[in-house]
Amino acid sequence: MHTQQLAVEAEGLHRSFGAGEVLGGVDLAVPRGSVFALLGPNGAGKTTTVRILATLSAADSGRARVAGLDVRARRTAVRRLISLTGQYAAVDEAQTGEENLRTVARLRGYRGRAARRRAAELLEEFGLAEAGGRRVATYSGGMRRRLDLAAGLVTRPEVVFLDEPTTGLDPRSRRDLWELVETLAQDPQHPVTVFLTTQYLEEADRLADRVALLDGGRIAASGTPEELKARVGGARLELTLRGPDAYADALLRLGERARETDPGALTLAVPTDGSGPQVRGLLDELDPQRTEVARFAVRTATLDDVFLSLTGGAPPAAGGRAAEEHARV
């Protein structure tokens, strides 16, 4: 793809903190005007990647360009074209929502009355008009996140970075935030590129045009959500067998397709796309006499499934988390 059409591109980003390698060569290519999700568990290096792209941190090696500009050489220019909404709401609790937005507006170059007007517009747009005069300390988690997002959009950036925008939110606030991100991405007058990180497959699926799976500081897979789901088989058929003989028989018939096998509980799982014909076919295949399967359930693929299938191992434990926390300091 031609450089001009890429909002974010990275080649071989490496970053270590002390002895721990957080990024081990990350390559990314995000087309302009798209929504891109960097999906991964805690400690995968998501925050470190975003901080490098948003000019807050430097890579040890590798190159990154945002809006066509090198993040290192053209840092100031890049900062004018991006906004960053971090994992921790970057708003002052002791100020009101309106004062927070007015502060950011003034830093973005609005003066006096124009800053006030812009703050009022944003409060309205983000459903905070009534709460605008209250201190942020009284806001709910969802309101804070909306205010944080609004603060990132005082001026219209070309690339919006959202680092785990819905972590810690209740389901309803999460849906509200998804709608805001969708509105942002679909504005026909000024297409914005959204680069978000998330731990939730569902979120990436709902919002993103393209997803990259980050695991242990490396991109394990990337593509559209459909492509990724197709690779893990979208869903799981979970089976409980009637007895040890039935269990052994099912295991034999499934061979390498069997997952999450548990001889004690007599349960196992098989990847499926979740469609009626395929599930029926699988059941017929491994239990032609209809005597061996006690119960079955179809469960949609989880982030764990994606990891198991694409990285061949369990999702990394929380160990890498310490390094990421360190990166923030």
Task: Give the interface with another protein as residue ranges (CB under 8 A).
Answer: 51, 54-58, 75-76, 79-80, 82-84, 86-92, 94-95, 99, 103-104, 106-111, 114, 118, 121, 125, 135, 151-156, 184, 187, 189-190, 329
Residue 91 CB, shortest distance to another protein, in Å, is: 7
Residue corresponding to tokens 């090198």: 70
Report residue 328: phi and psi, to 5°. Answer: -75, -25
Residue 155 CB, shortest distance to another protein, in Å, is: 4
Q: Which is nearer to another protein, 105 or 204 (CB)?
A: 105
Q: Which is nearer to another protein, 155 or 302 (CB)?
A: 155
Q: Which is nearer to another protein, 103 or 309 (CB)?
A: 103
Residue 67 CB, shortest distance to another protein, in Å, is: 13
Which helix (DSSP H) or strand (DSSP E) does residue 220 occupy?
Answer: strand 218-223
Residue corresponding to tokens 């007015």: 102
Q: Which is nearer to another protein, 215 or 324 (CB)?
A: 324
Report the alpha-carbon distance of residue 234 to residue 186 in Å, rounded: 27
Report the alpha-carbon distance of residue 299 to residue 112 in Å, rounded: 55
Closest among 284, 326, 309, 114 to 220, alpha carbons compared: 309
CB atoms < 10 A from the CB of 107, how many?
A: 11
Residue 93 CB, shortest distance to another protein, in Å, is: 9
Q: Which is nearer to another protein, 192 or 308 (CB)?
A: 192
Residue 284 CB, shortest distance to another protein, in Å, is: 54
Q: Are strands 267-272 and 259-262 parallel, antiparallel or unpaired?
A: antiparallel
Residue 255 CB, shortest distance to another protein, in Å, is: 49
CB atoms < 10 A from the CB of 319, how many?
A: 10
Q: Which is nearer to another protein, 100 or 222 (CB)?
A: 100
Cβ 101 vs Cβ 118: under 8 Å:
yes
Residue 157 CB, shortest distance to another protein, in Å, is: 9
CB within 8 A of 135, min separation 6: which ones?
93, 94, 95, 96
Instruction: Tell me the helices (H) and strands (E) count for the chain, helix number first.
Output: 12, 14
Q: Which is nearer to another protein, 114 or 248 (CB)?
A: 114
